[in-house]
Amino acid sequence: MIATTGAPVIGTRGSPLALAQARQVQALLGGALGCPAEAVALSVIKTTGDMIQDRALSEAGGKGLFTKELDSALLDGRIALAVHSAKDLPTVLPDGLVIAGYLAREDVRDVLISRGARSIAELPRGAVVGSASLRRQAQVRRLRPDVSVTLLRGNVGTRLAKVESGEIDATLLALAGLRRLGLADKATAVLDTEDFLPAIGQGAIAIVTRADDLALRETLMRFTDPGTGVALEAERAFLRVLDGSCRTPIAGLARVEGTGLSFRGMLLAPDGSDWVAVERSGPIAEALGLGEDAGREVVARARPALLGK
Ligand X SMILES: NCc1[nH]cc(CCC(=O)O)c1CC(=O)O
Q: How far is the C-alpha of 79 from the C-alpha of 99, rounded, in Å?
A: 15
* Cα–Cα distance list, 191 to 10, 109, 165, 253, 262 (Å): 33, 6, 23, 14, 19
User: Which of 172, 131, 166, 124 lies closest to 147 in space, CA to CA?
Assistant: 124
Task: Specify the pairing of strand 128-130 against strand 148-150.
Answer: parallel
20 or 299: whose CB is closer to ligand X? 20
Q: How far is the CB of 244 from ligand X (least distance, A)?
A: 16
Shortest Cβ 220–ligand X spacing (Å): 18
Residues that bind ligand X (CB under 6 A): 85, 87-88, 173-174, 176-177, 202-203
Report the alpha-carbon distance of residue 32 to residue 222 in Å, rounded.
7
The residue at minimum Cβ distance from ligand X is 177
Q: Give catalytic status of residue 88 as yes or no.
A: yes
Cα–Cα nearest to 154, from 19, 17, 12: 17
Which residue number, 24 or 148, has a Cβ lying nearer to ligand X? 24
* Closest distance to ligand X from the beta carbon of 246 (Å): 11
Q: Which is nearer to ligand X, 244 or 289 (CB)?
A: 244
Provide the 8-state DSSP code for 132: S
Are 98 and 211 in contact by the 8 Å Cβ rule? The answer is: yes
Of 173 and 207, nearer to ligand X (C-beta) is: 173
CA distance 186 to 161: 11
The one catalytic residue among 54, 71, 88, 95: 88
> Smallest distance, Å, CB 174 to ligand X?
4
Which residues carry out catalysis? Answer: 88
